[in-house]
Amino acid sequence: MRRPVPETEEFFATLASPIGLLSVLASHKGLTEIRFANHPKALPANSEKRNPFIDAAIDQLNGYFVGKRQVFDVVLDEGGTDFQRSVWAALRAIPFGQTASYGDIAKTIGKPKAARAVGMANNRNPIPIITPCHRVVGSDGSLIGFAGGLDIKRQLLEHERENA
């Protein structure tokens, strides 16, 4: 008889991407995190303990990086507060190749004075690229803050402009 997978079991793999090595993590419920190479807990290359969520995420990320995927549909297990999840859902609604400001996102979620709180939720996004926090810019269009660094943010935005 098969034993059930413990709810705390973690699954993971690394992806060599055009923006560097990505660590992709999942639970038994869905994708939980994507870490950039500069993350203090980034996984070493070729680390893996896969499940279907990892496989789907890797496949979809590969499609994104070759310009064949603009929307992700992998199952997410992102955690967070209700407010954070509402911000992350709004981020996923920003069309490929476009950007929005923190204020735009605040208005989208019905909290027009919460631009700073939106920035904090954006900063805590555990699943960048799939939840595209790189598409959020300052009110003047400037590139501000990104877990992978501004060079990677710029590369992702250029990639999307070229493939939109």
| Residue ranges of E strands in the chain | 11-17, 20-26, 31-35, 48-49, 100-101, 136-137
pLDDT for the residue numbered 88: 98
In a domain, 140, yes or no: yes
| Band (47; pLDDT cuts 50, 70, 90) | confident
Residue at 92 is within a domain:
yes
Kindly state whether residue 58 falls inside one of the protein's structural domains. no
pLDDT in tens, 125-144: 999 999 999 999 998 899 98
* 147 within a domain of the structure (yes/no): yes
Question: What CATH number does residue 102 fall under?
Answer: 1.10.10.10
Q: What is the pLDDT of residue 2?
A: 56
Number of domains into which the chain is organized: 1
Residue 145 annotated to the active site = no
Q: What is the pLDDT of residue 104?
A: 97
Q: Is residue 138 part of a domain?
A: yes
Question: Which pLDDT value is given to residue 126?
Answer: 97
Distances in whole angstroms, Cα of residue 9 to Cα of each of 12, 34, 42: 10, 17, 18
User: Per the domain annotation, does 51 fall within a domain?
Assistant: no
Please check whether residue 41 lies inside any domain of the structure.
no
Q: Of the residues 133, 147, 152, 156, which is catalytic?
A: 133
Instruction: Give residue 127's domain range.
Output: 82-163
Q: Six-digit token pair at 142? A: 């400037």
pLDDT over 60 at 1, yes or no: no
Is 126 part of a structural domain of the chain? yes
86-107 residue pLDDT tens: 999 999 999 999 999 999 999 9
